[in-house]
Amino acid sequence: MKNLYIITICLTALTLLAISPVSIAAVVDINDGASHTIADATYQNDGVRLDYLTANDPGTHLNLKDGGIVGGIVAYGISTVTMKGGSVGGRLAMASNSTATMSGGSVGEYLYVDTDGTIYLEGTDFEATDLSGTTTSLSYGDKLSDYGTFRPGGSQPHFFGTVTGTLADGSALNNGFVIHNVGNWAGTADIYIAPNPVPVPGAFLLGSMGMGIVGWMRQRRSL
């Protein structure tokens, strides 16, 4: 069973980093359990792979910012990706129990999840379109497997569709999505429309205190 699991992960890695429109010069493994920021073009032709066959707790974190260019991203284990800007030339792929939050930037190919991988999309006006051409407006908390077309054939059944919208930084999102959560990669994998941001309790209290002080000062001046 363990050998089968390792073989499955290896096949997944080969599939996710397969060269398509993007020329991948090398696969760069980042698996030290630390946090890394990419804000330049150092990896523009490389596929970056997080925690591949490595158990880190906490997992390795990748922060892609404005100016950052990566050929592709594939994450494993419990690694995390925060994408507030920059660009991924190939796929943004979350496998195992990894999680990505995308609030800006662009992805050249598919948004991809398998097993228990998760991608959260932050922004507004999201819509999903299935292979029949049916388009559905999405609400906060919706998961895309509910709106994609299920492809049952072969050993890798999956949900497929297109998601569009405006990310939190104002970037336009228009990507195909692939969700593997049945068959060989059965699990809870999905792509979610992230819920509305809620006020941080501390910030809310400080704001309330500030308003209270302003009101008190106005009252004092009127006396």
Residue 171 reports pLDDT greater than 70? yes
- Per-residue pLDDT tens for 31-41? 999 999 999 99
Number of domains present in the structure of the chain: 1
Cα 106 to Cα 63, 112, 165, 170, 220, distances in angstroms: 14, 14, 12, 11, 53
Residue 105 reports pLDDT greater than 50? yes
Q: What is the pLDDT of residue 124?
A: 95
What is the model's pTM?
Answer: 0.80
Q: State which residues form the domain around 125.
A: 2-222
